Amino acid sequence: MPTTAPVEAPRSGPAPEAAIDAEVLELGRRLARRRPSVRNLSRVANDRMMALVARDPQLRAALFRLVDVAPACADADELAAHLDAFLSDVEHHSPPVALAARASTARGARHATGRIGFAAVRQMAGRFIVGETPASAAPALRRLWERGSAISVDLLGEATVTHDEGRAYADRCDETLVTLAAAAQQWPARPLLERDSAGVLPRVNLSVKVTALTPLIRAEAPERGRADAADHLRRLLRRARDVGAHLHIDMESMDSRDLILELVLELLSEPEFKAGPSAGIVLQAYLRDSEETLDGILDWAGAADRAVPLAIRLVKGAYWDHETIEALQNGWVPPVYTEKVESDRCYERITRRLIDVHPLVRPAIASHNLRSVAHAVVYARRAGLATHDLELQVLRGLGDDLQDALAAEGLRGRTYCPVGDMVAGMAYLVRRLLENTSNDSFLASRTGGAALDPLLIRP
């Protein structure tokens, strides 16, 4: 339960930046103090391993290769052989790495090392994935709700290659909406999570990838998949409306971004969806044209005349490596900001714009960076938004401590929860590991012992 009640501020003109920064610093420190004092030992060990990996690019690459190959290994000995091959590329071995390298080649220890490797990958996956099926995940989702966090479920799986796979993914989404809507009826009341100034906030929130609905969305001919994806999305929008759920459309790599955005806004403009369901999209602040994209979305929102405001989940972006490498290979200018400070500044500019236009859209600020979170909360309070009008989102496995701190502060949070098996989740897991081990990430900096106050300074 919240221990403090945030004070709502009346709407006023622009505040001096120094005053905002002072409040951001105070709130950031308070959220950091709310971090649990007692932590799971396996989680502590995992965080320390991530800190070690973040300092060594070669070790980082070896870890990603091991995670990627683990589901395809027939037995522990085969995994140990891969571990030996991957670690042989690491030039400077720390004591733990040297021990693992020796164990992966020693005849008596190879099998045990492989079994430990399997267990470590499963434990790592379990940190992010709440269950293999919606039904098996439901108890964990309820526990999050009872702890004061709303949820958004993501069914693991990447781009499809056949029509049957697309239909199967749509079927899974449909089943998830029905299953979780039934389960959520038994959850206890949480007024902060269930209503904002615009109306009801559905308990069930499902994130959907358009490229998983059809094999026809390709960079060289993106329009081919529009009709196929539209049919599946209409079906899911109808189901979400019928069971009172929210449907959120994830954004992926740049080559499908424009098509997905146009398709979603076009469908939500159709007469049958004017009254619902609640729906949302994702905006990626690391893209250089993200503010222009927001211009178009806000123009649409102003003209759409839907009964339910569009939710906009603001993220930094999870495909930085893909976008940068592809651009360099083709001789293009990368579509993403190449300096972290640039995307951080863009993130804060867009945060303010989303808050300023409320209730035209529902802002959802998704970040583990305490500066970004505290800035959003402070700016929203100064703009006169009620506490329940700003949503703060974290990823399961990366933002658990922050999620609890937000609930303790009396703020409205939501946890993004992957559901699926380990094989389907490998691409997702690798992206999360990249995020968690990036040398310039807030999480890696804090895990590595960096002082808090410098990380709370305006970018």
Task: Answer with the residue of higher pLDDT: 279 or 85.
Answer: 279
State which of 50-59, 71-80, 358-367 shows the largest mean pLDDT.
Answer: 358-367
Class of the CATH-defined domain 24-36+131-421+439-455: alpha beta
* Confidence (pLDDT) at 3: 44
> In this predicted structure, which of 16-30, 43-57, 283-297 has the lowest mean pLDDT?
43-57
* Confidence (pLDDT) at 379: 97
pLDDT tens figures, 343-397: 999 999 999 999 999 999 999 999 999 999 999 999 999 999 999 999 999 999 8
**Residue 68, CA atoms < 13 Å, CB-side half-sphere:** 12
- d(C-alpha 282, C-alpha 366), whole Å: 10
User: Position of tokens 């492989």?
Assistant: 114
* Confidence (pLDDT) at 7: 42
pLDDT at 161 over 60: yes
Sign of CA dihedral 33, 47, 138, 181: positive
| pTM score, whole prediction | 0.83
Q: How confident is the model at residue 43 (pLDDT cuts 50, 70, 90)?
A: low
Task: Answer with the residue of higher pLDDT: 89 or 19.
Answer: 19
- d(C-alpha 63, C-alpha 70), whole Å: 11
* Kind plus residue range of the DSSP H or E element containing 441: none
| Rounded average pLDDT over 396-403 | 90
* Confidence (pLDDT) at 326: 74
pLDDT at 4 over 50: no
- d(C-alpha 139, C-alpha 141), whole Å: 5
| Rounded average pLDDT over 262-268 | 96
* Pairing mode, strands 246-250 and 199-200: unpaired
Q: Say which residues have a Cβ less than 8 Å from residue 263's Cβ, sequence separation at least 6.
A: 210, 226, 229, 230, 233
Q: How confident is the model at residue 5 (pLDDT cuts 50, 70, 90)?
A: very low
Domain range list for the chain: 24-36+131-421+439-455, 41-126
Any bridge partners for residue 392, and if so which? 365, 413
Mean pLDDT, all residues of the chain: 83
* Confidence (pLDDT) at 68: 67
* Confidence (pLDDT) at 225: 75
- End-to-end alpha carbon distance in the chain: 33
Percent of the residues in the chain that have a pLDDT greater than 90, as a whole number: 54
For 70, the token pair is 């683990």
3-state helix, strand, coil in the chain (%, to 5): 60, 10, 30
The SS3 of residue 62 is helix
E strand residue ranges, 360-432: 361-366, 391-395, 412-419
Measuring CA to CA, which residue among 101, 51, 64 is closest to residue 81? Answer: 101
- d(C-alpha 218, C-alpha 384), whole Å: 44
